[in-house]
A and B are shown apart, each in its own frame.
Chain A
Amino acid sequence: QQPVQSPQAVILREGEDAVINCSSSKALYSVHWYRQKHGEAPVFLMILLKGGEQKGHDKISASFNEKKQQSSLYLTASQLSYSGTYFCGLTGANNLFFGTGTRLTVIP
């Protein structure tokens, strides 16, 4: 039931863009995105609900396609502060399952 995230890791230079994908074999109700910096608690970024929703948070946005059972997180013009591990959480009927994470490193 665990979502599959790709890529597992990515290294960017400041200002570059990245896309993180999250997919599931189960029917989905919503998608959560969180970022966890090393040694810290995961921090909420956004929730997307059904209906092909898209959201933005600063220069981080996401889309959710419930028919394809997948979501993508878009990081534009990356900053050093974007470094961390990004987790998607997919909700089914009664639970929220997180993916294994994507480690993003932004270098100067």
Chain B
Amino acid sequence: GAGVSQSPSNKVTEKGKDVELRCDPISGHTALYWYRQSLGQGLEFLIYFQGNSAPDKSGLPSDRFSAERTGGSVSTLTIQRTQQEDSAVYLCASSLHQGWSTGELFFGEGSRLTVL
């Protein structure tokens, strides 16, 4: 597709269940980012993938959160044993350029997660 694609667009789950959120970046973009946006809040960094380098996981809030990127393309963010405080919009972005200082980020429309 032309842009960053995320699925599902909406997910409602029960507390304690696991969820998987998918991101399909723009073709050819080597960098991929996950951010979390809670209601009325800013964009909280979660994880960053750059090419074949080890991902920067410094933003993951707990060990219940993990992410992988297969074949340098599609990424999956997994949240295990979901809690109500995990409710948020999870945004994925990709960038053509390497490094933070040079490339604009193209964001997907997000996956809205609601934990009951």
**A interface, CB within 8 angstroms of B:** 2, 29-30, 32, 34, 40-44, 47, 49, 87, 89, 91-92, 94-101
Contacts and interface: CB of A to CB of B under 8 A. Distances in A.
A98 B110 contact: no
Q: Chain B: interface residue count, which band? A: 20 to 34
B101 A29 contact: yes
B101 A95 contact: no
Contact of B109 (A2, A40, A44, A101): A40
Main secondary structure of the interface of A (DSSP, over half): strand
Contacts of B101: 29-30, 47, 49, 91
B104 A95 contact: no
A92 B45 CA distance: 13
Interface of B: 4, 33, 35, 41-45, 48, 56, 58-59, 91, 100-110
A95 B58 contact: yes
Given A94-B100, A95-B48, A95-B56, A41 B43 contact: no
Nearest to A88: B42
8 contacts: A30-B100, A34-B107, A47-B101, A87-B42, A98-B35, A98-B42, A98-B43, A98-B45
B106 A44 contact: yes
A16 to B, nearest CB: 24
A97 B107 contact: no
B109 A29 contact: no
